Amino acid sequence: MGDSPAVWRGTVLHSCVKGGTVLHYSELKYLELIKSRYPQLDLSKIEFNKTDGSYSDIAVVNNEVVFKFAKYDWSAVYLHNEAEVLGFIRNFIALPLPDVEIVDQNVTKREYIKGSPLYSNVLLKSDKSTQDTVAREIAVFLEQLHSIPVKKAKNTRIGDSRMNLGREEWLAEIETLERKIFPYCTGYVKEYFRQITQPAVDNEEFFNFQPVLIHGELVPCHILVNNAALGISSIIGFSNAGFGDPAYDIAMILDHLGEGFVRRIGRYYPITAECMDRARFYAYISSFMWYRDVCDMITTRDFSRFQIQVKGRDISPIGAPVMVGGIKPSKK
């Protein structure tokens, strides 16, 4: 045992050395909870991850079981939402999905799913046939998810996605973004922001859509692939799932994997011009919404939720051949 006791809700907890690693008191708390609920579970190998979850800390036991612990009291709702959504949609989705069990008010459990995130560099370095296969699998998932009967879904406790905003809410959001981030922006960035938001402001029908059940955070780290063949092994990260604009799911892929890859998806999943424009808006605005959060952190001096973010965009991986006028140069 370590020599630095910590008090948590009246209980004295000490740092603990396990497998050569010093456990923080919160990790020790998680470990004790797992032991008490699952005494038969082998805890010889347990890995804690406090950075990958926006709303939860993660514990992986023997690469077999995954526990999620709400970071904050208010974030437990996201764990429950994920469990509710996955319990309902698994009968409609062909891909394997996590089977989430609610262990406690602030804790969930699911089986570990093997796979790696869909890294843009790996995807874009693969041949066109492999890219097309991944695009088709994503398209099938989107088609199945977005086609789930809304009436059936509304009979459950599934509500709106956090990103299900209407026109008036988006107009208010744009005003808030200008107020908070413009003091830190150059003239170029201010004009850039106006150019990407003005089409949505000018067109009163821009945000007209039929709500469907959406994933809500379909970023590459939530798309798990088989390392050998790049086939999709599962989709995870349903904390923000709920009713919303289908364009938002497209936007997250667009924002990280680029419009070229979204066009591949469009061969198998119909994307209207209006839907694509909304997806472009959501993709553009997402970075500014993160800048707004950072500005709030500067104001409050609370950086506990700060994370470094990365996006693939439409840039070829380092080492990719140079294309001149759409023609690959011949090697001499």
For residue 15, give both structure tokens. 């740092």
Residue 276 inside a domain? The answer is yes
Please list the residues that pair with 65 across neighbouring strands: 61, 111
Residue 28 inside a domain? The answer is no
Residue 49 inside a domain? The answer is no
Strands across the sheet with 232-235, in order? Answer: 116-117, 223-225, 232-235
Q: Compute how many other C-beta atoms are within 10 angstroms of the C-beta atom of residue 326.
A: 5
Residue 6 inside a domain? The answer is no
CA distance 109 to 119: 26
pLDDT tens per residue, the chain (332 residues)?
Answer: 333 333 323 333 333 445 555 567 688 999 999 999 999 999 989 999 887 777 899 999 999 999 999 998 899 999 999 999 999 999 999 999 999 999 999 999 999 999 999 999 899 889 999 999 999 999 999 999 999 999 888 888 899 998 899 999 999 999 999 999 999 999 999 999 999 999 999 999 999 999 999 999 999 999 999 977 789 999 999 999 999 999 999 999 999 999 999 999 999 999 999 999 999 999 999 999 989 999 989 888 887 777 766 666 665 554 556 555 544 544 54
Instruction: Please choose, from the candidates 251, 242, 298, the residue with its C-alpha nearest in 3D space to the C-alpha of residue 276.
Output: 251
Angle at 278 between CA 147 and CA 264, to 5 degrees: 65
CA distance 25 to 23: 6
User: 3-state SS of 24-64?
Assistant: CHHHHHHHHHHHHHCCCCCCCCEEEECCCCCCEEEEEECCC
For residue 175, give both structure tokens. 């005003």
CATH classification of the domain holding 159: 3.90.1200.10
Residue 78 inside a domain? The answer is no
| Helical (H) or strand (E) element with 70 | strand 65-70
- The whole domain housing 140 covers 116-300
Residue 193 inside a domain? The answer is yes
Split into its structural domains, the chain has a count of 1
Residue 203 inside a domain? The answer is yes
CA distance 71 to 128: 41
Residue 123 inside a domain? The answer is yes
pLDDT at 305: 73
